[in-house]
């Protein structure tokens, strides 16, 4: 493949929305000139009804857009609580009933905004060839798969090893164009402190809370000679429980990692509402990210 390194694409990355989205956001992105919008998930809060209202606003976007569902998307509050609790196997099995229906309803509400998990999309925004590899949906981070019953039914995934294998297969399906990974939670291997980019800040013991399957897929892509430009995700809010701030981005082994979860993504400055997103600038050989409040 002959690559034109002069081409540049701009991508808006939207962190965990958690209901902070309105018509002004739609108007901004429709007139912004971005080539693509990527949502890292968690459109909803603790009720799916309000999350679907956000989805119906997102469907007004005229810019190509993709979204991976987060742990708040398609899960009601009881199911989410059972997924987080360390010993709640029976409750998880009981409360997961209806998740397929809830996710299908969310997907219909989004219209042309693609709701994706375990997927690959080959695109050419602004003439820049890209493989978008979409990771495991509904991640809560850590060592355990959330929504295991749903993942098994929908995707045939019943373990972390199976999930890693699926992601590696998606990498194998990519052509020579560079890769951007879209995930809800970021990969493991990038720090085990509470304020690491995907570190655990809600337990007494600090630990790495990234997704092992995603780390394995990234390592596999690099070892296979693929060009991985960036990984964009969220989930672990930038402001930690103790009031510290995670890094918004880091570069490791030549890959740019972006945690876009600035929550809430709406704030007031001098009486004016500002809205957060990350501007991702991609060429066939490089990636840069810039926080923007507009």
Q: Work out the number of other CB atoms within 10 angstroms of the CB of residue 212.
A: 17
Which tokens go with 179? 């890769």
Which tokens go with 286? 């490089």
**131 vs 81 pLDDT, higher one:** 131
Return d(Cα 150, Cα 103) in angstroms, integer. 10
> Beta strands of 129-254 (E only): which ranges?
130-134, 179-185, 228-234, 249-252
The alpha carbon of 58 is separated from its chain's Cα centroid by a whole number of angstroms, namely 16
Check whether 79 has a pLDDT greater than 90: no
The pLDDT assigned to 129 comes to 98
User: Residue 289 domain-assigned?
Assistant: yes
Check whether 3 has a pLDDT greater than 70: no
Check whether 84 has a pLDDT greater than 90: no
Check whether 288 has a pLDDT greater than 50: yes
Return d(Cα 254, Cα 219) in angstroms, integer. 12
Task: Give the pLDDT confidence of 134-170 residue by residue, as tens digits.
Answer: 999 999 999 989 999 999 999 999 999 999 999 999 9
pTM (2 d.p.): 0.95
Q: Which of 89-93, 150-154, 199-203 has the lowest mean pLDDT?
A: 89-93
CATH number for the domain spanning 197: value is 3.60.21.10
User: Residue 226 domain-assigned?
Assistant: yes
User: Residue 17 domain-assigned?
Assistant: yes
User: Residue 167 domain-assigned?
Assistant: yes
- Residue 1: band (very low, low, confident or very high) from pLDDT cuts 50, 70, 90: very low
Q: Whose CA is closest to 20, among 187, 237, 227, 191?
A: 237
Range of the domain at 101: 9-293
User: How many domains does one find in the chain?
Assistant: 1
Return d(Cα 29, Cα 17) in angstroms, integer. 15
The answer for residues whose C-beta is within 8 angstroms of residue 231's C-beta and 6 or more apart is: 180, 181, 183, 186, 187, 214, 218, 255, 256, 257, 258
User: Residue 1 domain-assigned?
Assistant: no
User: Residue 37 domain-assigned?
Assistant: yes
User: Residue 2 domain-assigned?
Assistant: no
User: Residue 3 domain-assigned?
Assistant: no
Q: How many helices (H) and strands (E) does the chain have?
A: 8, 13
* Average per-residue pLDDT for the chain: 94
Return d(Cα 252, Cα 64) in angstroms, integer. 29
- Residue 92: band (very low, low, confident or very high) from pLDDT cuts 50, 70, 90: confident
The answer for residues whose C-beta is within 8 angstroms of residue 144's C-beta and 6 or more apart is: 160
């Amino acid at each position: 493949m002959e690559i034109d390194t002069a081409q540049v694409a701009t991508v808006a990355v939207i962190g965990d929305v958690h209901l902070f989205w309105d018509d002004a956001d739609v108007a901004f992105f429709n007139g912004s000139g971005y080539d693509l919008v990527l949502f890292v998930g968690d459109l909803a809060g603790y009720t799916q009804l309000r999350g679907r209202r956000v989805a119906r606003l997102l469907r007004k976007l005229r810019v190509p857009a993709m979204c991976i569902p987060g742990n708040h998307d398609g899960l009601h509050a009881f199911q989410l609580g059972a997924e987080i609790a360390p010993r709640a196997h029976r409750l998880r099995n009981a409360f997961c009933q209806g998740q397929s229906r809830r996710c299908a309803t969310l997907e219909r509400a989004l219209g042309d905004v693609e709701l994706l998990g375990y997927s690959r999309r080959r695109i050419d925004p602004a003439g820049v060839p890209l493989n978008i590899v979409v990771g495991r949906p509904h991640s809560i981070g850590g060592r355990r798969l959330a929504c295991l019953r749903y993942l098994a039914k929908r995707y045939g995934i019943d373990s972390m090893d199976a999930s890693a294998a699926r992601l590696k297969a998606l990498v194998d399906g990519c052509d020579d164009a560079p890769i951007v990974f879209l995930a809800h939670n970021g990969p493991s291997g990038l720090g085990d402190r509470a304020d690491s980019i995907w570190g655990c800040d809600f337990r007494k013991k600090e630990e790495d809370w990234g997704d092992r399957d995603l780390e394995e897929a990234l390592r596999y892509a690099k070892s296979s000679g693929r060009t991985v430009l960036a990984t964009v995700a969220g989930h672990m809010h930038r402001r930690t429980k103790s009031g510290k701030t995670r890094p918004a981005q880091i570069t490791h082994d030549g890959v740019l990692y972006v945690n876009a979860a600035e929550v809430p993504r709406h704030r007031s400055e001098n009486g004016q509402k500002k809205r957060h997103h990350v501007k991702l600038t991609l060429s066939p050989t490089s990636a840069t990210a810039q926080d923007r409040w507009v």
